[in-house]
Amino acid sequence: MKCTELSNNIMKELKKEKILKKICIVQVGDREDSNRYIKNKIRKCNELGIEVELKKFKEDEIDNLKLREIIGMANLMRLPLFVQLPLPEHLDETLVHNIDYSMDIDGFGYETLGRIVAGHSNKYPCTPKGILTILESITDLEGKDVLIINRSFHIGKTLALMLTDKDCTVTVAHSKTKNLQDKIDNADIIITAIGKANYFNADNFKKGQIVIDVSINFDDDGKICGDISKNEYEKLNKKGVLFTEVPNGVGLMTTTSLMEQIKNL
Ligand code: GUN
């Protein structure tokens, strides 16, 4: 399943009103996946009339002190800002949580995350927000058994809370989880963000299951792919498994969710 139509419909609604806002994106390094995300985010911002300042640093151009300063300045100047993750190892990723709630378009701030735990946030990290939009467009979530294979704060952990609030029964799996296939077999919905090209094939899933492939990987030929092998798409379709493709799947919805959050600032 591609998410192009779902994303286009949301963008069409958002385009009805010009969004006269400026945002700032901070990128450190030159990762291919980050370049791709950022390019798509800027393109969508341009479509909506949102001004974007991209602060792109080489890895050795920035340290924790400078990153802290940039985030502090954005809070002070009331400039909505997000820092593209992952950051290079020498930088402290927890700094991204210091963005004020009112400037938090990416849903990474401490207040946003605390509000999600408390069950009353109107902001969310954009990937879980996009996944929720996809799931709600294809199924009734009440009572569903969901397996999330990822425990990062901006995918698995927050999504687990959001889906729990939608009356799902959620299992969070990770690299130390035992008997993963048993857990897959028992789930109605599987959300995978393992980050390994061709990790799954059609034999891992059964008819009626919904599989959301969150990962953006690059295969041996440098082509973009998810955790599910592209060669298996046809078999999965034949089997009756509903799954999101990569590209044009969750990544599209992550950027679309960011646009919704900028509009709602
Ligand atoms: N890296 C992967 N997804 C995201 C996202 O939604 N926001 C940011 N800032 N970095 C990411």
pLDDT for res 18? 83
Cα-to-centroid distance, 224 and ligand 1 (Å):
17
Enclosing H/E stretch for 260:
helix 250-263
Reduce the DSSP state of residue 167 to 3 states and report it. coil
State which of 31, 52, 83, 84 you would mutate to test the pocket of ligand 1, scoring each by most atoms of that ligand within 8 A of its C-beta: 84
Cα–Cα distance for residue pair 265/60, rounded to 1 Å: 33
- pLDDT tens for 146-197 read 999 999 999 999 999 999 999 999 999 999 999 999 999 999 999 999 999 9
pLDDT for res 57? 98
Nearest C-alpha to atom 9 of ligand 1 is from which residue?
A: 84
- pLDDT tens for 90-110 read 999 999 999 999 999 999 999
Question: In CATH terms, is domain 19-100 a member of 3.40.50.10860?
Answer: yes
134 with 3: CB under 8 angstroms? Answer: yes
Cα-to-centroid distance, 84 and ligand 1 (Å):
5
* The ligand 1 atom nearest the CA atom of 254: 6
Return the domain boundaries, the chain.
19-100, 126-252
Cα-to-centroid distance, 207 and ligand 1 (Å):
31
Residue 90: is it exposed, middle or buried by C-beta count within 10 angstroms (0-12/13-18/19+)? exposed
Cα–Cα distance for residue pair 233/213, rounded to 1 Å: 12
Query: Which residues lie below 8 Å from residue 59, measured CB to CB, with a gap of 6+?
Result: 28, 29, 88, 90
Q: Using the structure block, give the residue that is written with the tokens 């009734």.
A: 140
Asked whether this chain's domains 19-100 and 126-252 adopt the same fold, the reply is yes
Cα-to-centroid distance, 107 and ligand 1 (Å):
10
pLDDT for res 98? 97
Q: Which residues line ligand 1 (CB under 6 A)?
A: 37, 82-85, 106, 126-127, 254
**The CATH number of 126-252 is which of 3.40.50.720, 1.10.40.50, 3.40.50.620, 3.90.105.10?**
3.40.50.720
Q: Name the pairing type of β-strands 22-28 and 224-225.
A: unpaired
Cα-to-centroid distance, 28 and ligand 1 (Å):
13
Nearest C-alpha to atom 8 of ligand 1 is from which residue?
A: 84
Collect the ranges in the chain with pLDDT lower than 50: none
Cα-to-centroid distance, 85 and ligand 1 (Å):
5
State which of 126, 157, 215, 256 you would mutate to test the pocket of ligand 1, scoring each by most atoms of that ligand within 8 A of its C-beta: 126
